[in-house]
A and B are shown apart, each in its own frame.
Chain A
Amino acid sequence: MAQAQPDQLSSAHRLEWRRVLTDYLGMAVALGALIAVFSLSTEHFFSATTFRTIANQIPAAVLIATGMTLVLIMAEIDLSVGSVLGLCSAVLGVALTRWNWPAWAALLAALGAGLVCGAFNGIVSQAWRLPSFIVTLGMLEMARGGAHAVTNSQTQYIGPAIDWITSTELAGFSLPFVLAVLMVVVGQLVLTRTVFGRYLVAIGTNEEAVRLSGINPRPIKQVVFVLAGLLVALAAIIDTARFQSANPNAGIGFELQAIAAAVIGGTSLMGGRGSVVSTFFGVLIIAVLNSGLAAVGAKDEMKRLVTGAVIVVAVVVDQYRQQLARRTA
């Protein structure tokens, strides 16, 4: 029986489309509902300005959350992203202002800082088989310390040196936004359409089975930590350009926001399940929630209360959705 069964193949297609729909439809509906609620409750919300502001705010968060999603899918975690963002930003700022490096060299230095931090996380956690929770917690402190050391704890005002990053527009969208969306698309394709992505999901599902299948999981995991570090460096460059300054305290709490976005998007902290596109929706939901609550005049404490509740509700709903999918599959 060398021939494939056509009915099996077509049902495979059908199933895949259904999965794509159930994965993204729910997220899109939730996002649409949020926008509708805020638009109805205040006239200030539904405007081009609001959406432009959101589009300017989120690129850094999207990039970080994309890296975080890949890390979470292989059942690891990266707590250092916020601090690494601070460090990369600090290196960029100091290179431009104090060392008077040309912009391209300063940008490379920032990317290099992200790469080194990611490589440290990956190599140390894999070489000694340490939980990435601990290693990246260490990196969280080290990178923050590094950021303060490099800048002498002073915010570096860099002026318009790298303003072109935020001011360049492509088809009406800012360069950072386009870059972030591009990374989401690339990340999703890598995850679902490449050997590497399949290995990630497999490692997150059952690392021992992967090892016994003749695949060494360790270099793969290390590469993912490095990728996460590089994405954080990109995010740092974008935020530094946006604020025209490098603050050594930049990025505090970003790791939890990134995890929240991934979790809202249905990524499992136990690994093996997740989608970069869903995480993108997660970032959008958090961003819309924040500006919507601001538009209706909610105070900061209320914003945090609501955002926290949304995270919990999202995870509960996701549980039900999965059970439903399992029953109908």
Chain B
Amino acid sequence: MGLLGLRATLAGPAVVRTASRALPKSAILMPGSDPLLQVSGLWKSYATPVLLDVAFDLHAGEVHALVGENGAGKTTLARILAGLVQPDQGHMTLRGRPYAPRTKREAQQLGVRLVPQELNLIGNLTVAENIFLDHLPHRAGWIQRRQLLTQARTLLEQVGLGQLDPACLVKTLGVGQQQLVEIAAGLSQRCAVLILDEPTAALSGAEVDRLFDQVARLKAAGTGIVYISHRLEEIQRIADRISVLRDGRMQTTQPASALTLQQMVRLMVGRPIDQAIRRRSKPPGPIALRVVGLSRPPAVRDVSFQLHWGEILGFAGLMGSGRTETMRALFGADLPIRGQIFLHGSSHPVTIRSPRDAVRYGLALLTEDRAAQGLLLPLPIRANLTLPSLPAFSRVAGWLCRAAERLEASRWTHRLGVRCHSIEQRVCELSGGNQQKVVVGKWLLRDCDILIFDEPTRGIDVGAKFDLYQVLDQLADRGKALIVVSSDLKELLALCDRIAVMSAGRLVATFQRHEFAEERILAAALSGYLSSKTHERSSPSTTACN
């Protein structure tokens, strides 16, 4: 499904719903009234710049939506506003006074609250305790249980969880309910500014409606709301103004009525591609890997694709669209799975029940989180490189031939250009880019030929990225089959021969190199989250827990 599909869906039920449940837009932007929160000249960079000279303002009683691609800087901006992160530069004022919170607590005391995207609840505490975690009602240290439960119940009713027992443990709830509890926690204290980061990611249509009722109530009470979401049609329903971020730069801020969906998409994309890394596609080789109907609900649903030798296949999609989960399922890292996997053009499926099986078949998974899943940080480069292929360095009874091990480790360190002073250097002392090269090296040393890269350039600076692109390019040219999962669409456009797009757990479209167009890919990535599909995705949330 391409852009046409998106248009069709937009023109359909969405419009009807928008009309029926439209919120009263505030008398937009009373000119002359001072903004509640104002930000200007905001800069922030980690390994790479994330926010560049961003300006943003929010009025009391306004819903200001923030949209942009993955990594555009939305969440970083939200975290800065909420005091979780400090900007490198920039000036912020709250109610006309300078505002520079150093901690979350300080921001909350001044009335700014963030409901984060990732769930931050503590599974072993009750719903009520989670809601009031940082201000539990107590007398001399004793928690006032009855008061706690009553207050929690009121808040739960507001978010539509009236039937939920506030005394049940959070870990027994589904993701959608947890998200609502998180929102209830956000509502638990009066605040002047409420930041909602992807609040509806796990919510069904009815739950979204309920949330919007609460947003309307807060708005009427004069709270300023920053609303971050990928779901553009929701934004059109609820926002008074919309700001579009792209690569850390504020593209535009306009009244919601002045922007159409298509305009928003167009503003979100459009960074020029670095010509130097553009891949020259060759005719694909024979089939290396064929996946049919791979499923691991709810994250992965009926994913089918094929991969050729000498090809780089990109996987695009939004956060949480099931790309990582698909790769882990394919690699046998998470069980059980349904579906069939065929290798080397064979018509007999192979059984992959563990990473061990996968590696034996020549698959390699380079995980998203290098430190936690890919590397032995305190151990030397040598030990990391040889880990998957250790038995090859032993001739008798598991005795390691250390000279051979050192030689091979040294060779790959050099071949991949890992910057280090010795192969005995501990991996934790290397930069992100060099660590990633070590991970690549460990699989090449094992002679794996189907390599799955999950976010290979995350946290890597620009120069090292370029190095890594060349490594990937050369691997494909030497006949290896590569899958690259990335949230950086530009990277995929430059690097891949084909791009598969996942949305809400399904593979929704595949584009050949000559069909590459950012807008079409982004539209496909958003397609699974539009109206009709939102309902079937989530479970009903009003069931009380036992």
- Kindly state the separation between the CA atoms of A216 and B394 in the bound complex, as whole angstroms: 18
**Chain B 358-390: CB-based contact to A (< 8 A → 1; otherwise 0):** 111000010100001111111100110001101
User: Given A2-B411, A4-B406, A211-B355, do A12 and B367 touch, yes or no (CB 8 Å)?
Assistant: no
Q: Which A residues lie within 8 Å of B413 (CB)?
A: 8
Check if B394 sits within 8 Å of A194, measured CB to CB: yes
Check if B411 sits within 8 Å of A273, measured CB to CB: no
Q: Which A residues lie within 8 Å of B374 (CB)?
A: 209, 212
Check if B406 sits within 8 Å of A9, measured CB to CB: yes
- How many interface residues does B have (CB within 8 Å)? 46
Check if A206 sits within 8 Å of B375, measured CB to CB: yes
A299 at interface, CB cutoff 8 A: no
- Kindly state the separation between the CA atoms of A193 and B126 in the bound complex, as whole angstroms: 50
- Kindly state the separation between the CA atoms of A12 and B376 in the bound complex, as whole angstroms: 18
Check if A216 sits within 8 Å of B354, measured CB to CB: yes
Please give the distance in Å from A206's CB to the nearest CB on chain B. 5
Contact segment of A63-71, A154-162, A197-205: A197-205
B144 at interface, CB cutoff 8 A: no
- Kindly state the separation between the CA atoms of A215 and B391 in the bound complex, as whole angstroms: 11
Greatest chain A CB density within 10 A among B331, B358, B415, B422 is at B422
Cross-chain contact of A205 among B377, B388, B411, B414 (Cβ < 8 A): B377
Q: Name the residue on B nearest A198 (C-beta).
A: B390
Check if A16 sits within 8 Å of B399, measured CB to CB: no
User: Given A9-B407, A196-B398, A212-B367, do A206 and B415 touch, yes or no (CB 8 Å)?
Assistant: no
Please give the distance in Å from A189's CB to the nearest CB on chain B. 9
Check if B378 sits within 8 Å of A209, measured CB to CB: no
Please give the distance in Å from B396's CB to the nearest CB on chain A. 10
Check if B355 sits within 8 Å of A212, measured CB to CB: yes
Q: Which A residues lie within 8 Å of B407 (CB)?
A: 4, 9
User: Given A209-B373, A215-B388, do A202 and B383 touch, yes or no (CB 8 Å)?
Assistant: yes
Check if B388 sits within 8 Å of A213, measured CB to CB: yes
A210 at interface, CB cutoff 8 A: yes
Check if A214 sits within 8 Å of B383, measured CB to CB: no
Please give the distance in Å from B397's CB to the nearest CB on chain A. 8
Cross-chain contact of B376 among A3, A11, A206 (Cβ < 8 A): A206
- Kindly state the separation between the CA atoms of A127 and B444 in the bound complex, as whole angstroms: 32
Please classify the interface of chain A as helix (H, G, I), strand (E, B), loop, or mixed, using the class held by over half of its residues.
helix
Cross-chain contact of A4 among B372, B393, B394, B411 (Cβ < 8 A): B411
Check if A198 sits within 8 Å of B383, measured CB to CB: yes
B442 at interface, CB cutoff 8 A: yes
User: Given A8-B422, A194-B400, A201-B379, do A213 and B414 touch, yes or no (CB 8 Å)?
Assistant: no
A5 at interface, CB cutoff 8 A: yes
Q: Which B residues lie within 8 Å of A329 (CB)?
A: 425-426
Check if A272 sits within 8 Å of B378, measured CB to CB: yes
Interface residues of A toward B: which range?
20 to 34
**Chain B 316-339: CB-based contact to A (< 8 A → 1; otherwise 0):** 000000000000000101000000
**Chain A 1-38: CB-based contact to B (< 8 A → 1; otherwise 0):** 11111001101100110000000000000000000000
A305 at interface, CB cutoff 8 A: no
B95 at interface, CB cutoff 8 A: no
Please give the distance in Å from B470's CB to the nearest CB on chain A. 15
B424 at interface, CB cutoff 8 A: yes
Q: Name the residue on A nearest B383 (C-beta).
A: A198
B145 at interface, CB cutoff 8 A: no
Check if B394 sits within 8 Å of A215, measured CB to CB: no
User: Given A1-B411, A15-B424, do A214 and B406 touch, yes or no (CB 8 Å)?
Assistant: no
Please give the distance in Å from B387's CB to the nearest CB on chain A. 5
**Chain B 439-458: CB-based contact to A (< 8 A → 1; otherwise 0):** 00010001000000000000
Check if A213 sits within 8 Å of B387, measured CB to CB: yes
Q: Name the residue on A nearest B446 (C-beta).
A: A214
Check if B406 sits within 8 Å of A213, measured CB to CB: no
5 other contacts beyond A11-B421, A215-B356, with CB at 8 A cut-off? Answer: A1-B414, A4-B411, A12-B423, A195-B391, A272-B378
A and B contact pairs by CB, cutoff 8 A, 6 listed: A9-B406, A16-B424, A195-B390, A205-B379, A208-B373, A214-B388
Q: Which residues of A contact B (CB under 8 A)?
A: 1-5, 8-9, 11-12, 15-16, 193-196, 198-199, 201-202, 205-206, 208-216, 272-273, 326, 329
